Amino acid sequence: MARSRALRFRGWVPLALLAILVVAIGAYVAGRSSTFLSEFNLNSLLLSALPLALVSMGQTSALLVGGFDISVGAVVTLCVVVASSTMRSGLELWELVLGAFAVLGIGVLVGFCNAALVRIVRLPSIIATLATLSVLQGIALALRPVPAGDVDLDVMDALVAGRSFVPYAFVGVLVVAALADLWLYRTPGGLTARAVGIDETSSRRLGAPVELVNWRAFVLASIAAAVAAFFVAAQAGVGDATVGSSYTLQSIAAAVLGGAALAGGKGSFVGAVFGAVFLSLIVNILPLLGWSDWIGQVAIGALTLLALVLYQGDVLVARARGAWGDVRRLLPARA
């Protein structure tokens, strides 16, 4: 019982630390710039965090099974490019609906391709999704060599609508993330997903649907990126073949800051949302404080490394002990 409570407490540590950092940084910037707490700025902050939160939730899905999805940024880019043609101004409602399904279809198709490369071809996930990234970027550049096209204004207004400075869509994403965490830590299906990420071989021996869990993880990662593309398109307004390039690394950083383990078996969808808000906050405050962009990049990298050490220190120590044990076994043999 005590061990279970300790583990449950450790699972909330990333959320607590991120909340403290957000409040502390927000208080500091508010004291330096009156613009920070304005309704316009806070709305801009949450809108910029919204697509990153979705992509990070998808990335968490892949990390839970011990994989990486490097293609999520390219999925966002290609979906925005396609949306700029299939959801442009002047189309009828049914045409806009078909265009939205086309965008979502890209996410589903890419997810199945990634899963097939990893589970059937047996490529490492980072190599498989890196190849997918290259293909998708090439297609996006072929479709939009230069930024062009547009997105229907009514669609854009609906996607960014909100009350005060809080977008309705952000509240919806937060609710979905909370429900996903409840599933992950309170249901047999969530337990199975975490078990597969921790030890796939043992999970298969116990009868867990290992293939289904892995395929589902990569398909959900791409679908989340496709959904995020709607909000990126609403904010960008045009089809741009470079608009999603930053989401890959940022989604991994947000997921790790939110408590995801690179080795698999641990993560939090709410933590991914918090991580996305935190990263968006760093970008948001730089111009308000008159700081250069490189300061934000260094801070994000340093905090991500710190999160790896704090949240996964036990895994790192265990691996170090295992490596030292191997060395000690080799020394007498050489002697």
Q: Where are the beta strands (DSSP E) in the chain?
A: 162-163, 166-167
**Coil, helix or strand at residue 148:** strand
Fold annotation for 2-317:
ABC transporter involved in vitamin B12 uptake, BtuC (1.10.3470)
pLDDT, mean of residues 41-64: 95
125-164 pLDDT, tens per residue?
Answer: 999 999 999 999 999 999 999 988 888 888 889 999 998 8
Q: How confident is the model at residue 328 (pLDDT cuts 50, 70, 90)?
A: low
CB atoms within 10 A of CB 270: 25
What residue type is 77 in one-letter code? T
76-129 pLDDT, tens per residue?
Answer: 999 999 999 999 888 888 999 999 999 999 999 999 999 999 999 999 999 999
Tally the residues of the chain: 335
pLDDT, mean of residues 314-324: 55
198 against 220, higher pLDDT: 220
Using the predicted structure, report yes or no on whether residue 222 has a pLDDT greater than 60. Answer: yes
For 37-46, the CB contacts below 8 A with 24+ separation are: 39/164, 39/165, 40/165, 41/284, 41/288, 42/165, 43/162, 43/165, 43/166, 43/167, 44/284, 45/277, 45/280, 45/281, 45/284, 46/162, 46/165, 46/166, 46/167, 46/170, 46/277, 46/280
Closest CA to 149 of 86, 72, 212, 199: 86
Helices (H), 71-186: 72-86, 93-119, 125-143, 153-160, 168-186
d(CA 1, CA 182): 20
**Coil, helix or strand at residue 150:** coil
